[in-house]
Amino acid sequence: MNRLKGKVAIVTGAADGIGLAISQAFANEGALVVMCDINVDKCDEEAKRLNDNVGTARSYACDVGITKDVKNVVDRTLAEFGKIDILVNNAGIALSGNIVEMPEEDWDRLMNINLKSAYRSIQIVLPHMLGKQSGSIINISSIQAFRSWDNWTAYAGAKGAMCSMTKQLAGQFGVENIRFNTISPGAILTPMNEKRIQEEGKAFLQKSIDQAAMKRLGKPQEVAMTAVFLASDEAPFITGADIKVDGGLGVLPRYL
Ligand SMILES: NC(=O)c1ccc[n+]([C@@H]2O[C@H](COP(=O)([O-])OP(=O)(O)OC[C@H]3O[C@@H](n4cnc5c(N)ncnc54)[C@H](O)[C@@H]3O)[C@@H](O)[C@H]2O)c1
């Protein structure tokens, strides 16, 4: 409790899955949480639940693929709370496809939501963090950035770029006391994977379980715990790091 007391956090993709778990964990630790999502009804509902039960949360409609939406979130957050201490770039979509067949529109859409979104939000939020010489920016990558999986070229490319971009920024802005880190989840049971089960069947998830050292899927809350740590004053000297929350999916050979 209170590990984030008084800190103001923006979390994207906060209506469901990992982003929702991060928002809940941040609120439980005393943060004022600005939850952003395109799914406005669900985001409103979840923010209300947090307000009723634990603390302060706001729900702002935002498509991270649209610059004016992101700017609106930052402006409203600063107008209401006066500062931004934590930014979590979590919103993302899962779009697979063999590179030979993948339509250019799919590639562009994925890059816009999963990668350019971080450029947008960091460009708008960073000047405020620089002004107060303090901030923690957490980018959600994926274990896909580190290992091969058939037909996930674009997704893995965006996630790998997220890690590289984070390291570059950590190097440049460490002297200003702004920390940049990535979390790379393995296979986590969220609506993203539930949708894939409906489309592709359960076999792909069983493969992820078989290939993970811990032989199970992760929970969104297990990713959220790491986000709390990185956002908190318990990690004041950690920047440019990638923390894999993957149950050992990254350490075993690809196909057993
Ligand atoms: N679930 C996994 O196994 C897994 C593994 C590795 C990485 N990740 C990454 O974690 C992040 C969250 O994944 P998840 O599994 O919780 O996904 P999810 O689909 O369960 O939830 C994503 C949330 O983001 C929102 N969202 C989607 N597009 C948006 C947009 N353009 N603007 C704003 N909000 C938007 C959705 O409405 C939803 O509430 C993603 O970046 C994903 O790539 C997930």
pLDDT in tens, the chain (256 residues): 899 999 999 999 999 999 999 999 999 999 999 999 999 999 999 999 999 999 899 999 999 999 999 999 999 999 999 999 999 999 999 999 999 999 999 999 999 999 999 999 999 999 999 999 999 999 999 999 999 889 999 999 999 999 999 999 999 999 999 999 999 999 999 998 998 888 888 888 898 999 999 999 999 999 999 999 999 999 999 999 999 999 999 998 776 5
Nearest-angstrom CA–CA distance, 112 and 158: 9
| Contact in structure between 86 and 9 (CB atoms under 8 Å) | yes
Tell me, yes or no, whether 69 lies in a domain.
Answer: yes
Residue owning the nearest CA to atom 25 of ligand 1? 13
Tell me, yes or no, whether 193 lies in a domain.
Answer: yes
Tokens representing 139?
């980018």
Tell me, yes or no, whether 90 lies in a domain.
Answer: yes
Tokens representing 204?
């792909």
User: What is the predicted pLDDT for the residue at 255?
Assistant: 62
Tokens 């498509």, located at residue: 63
Instruction: Sort residue 246 into left (φ over 0), alpha (ψ -120 to 50) or beta.
Output: alpha
Can you give the residue range of the structural domain that contains 105? 8-245
Annotated active-site positions, please?
A: 155
The CATH code of the domain that includes 16 is 3.40.50.720
Tell me, yes or no, whether 155 lies in a domain.
Answer: yes
Tokens 């935002």, located at residue: 62
In testing the pocket of ligand 1, which one of 24, 116, 190 has its CB within 8 Å of the most ligand atoms?
Answer: 190
Tell me, yes or no, whether 43 lies in a domain.
Answer: yes
| Residue 91, ligand 1, Cβ within 6 A | yes
Tell me, yes or no, whether 170 lies in a domain.
Answer: yes
Tell me, yes or no, whether 255 lies in a domain.
Answer: no
CA of 17 from ligand 1 middle (Å) equals 7
Q: Which amino acid is at 147?
A: R
| Residue 39, ligand 1, Cβ within 6 A | yes
Instruction: Sort residue 113 into left (φ over 0), alpha (ψ -120 to 50) or beta.
Output: alpha
| Residue 90, ligand 1, Cβ within 6 A | yes
The total number of structural domains in the chain stands at 1
Nearest-angstrom CA–CA distance, 63 and 115: 13
pTM exceeds 0.85, yes or no: yes
Q: CA–CA distance from 103 to each of 95, 96, 97, 100, 195 (Å)?
A: 11, 11, 9, 9, 21
Tell me, yes or no, whether 153 lies in a domain.
Answer: yes
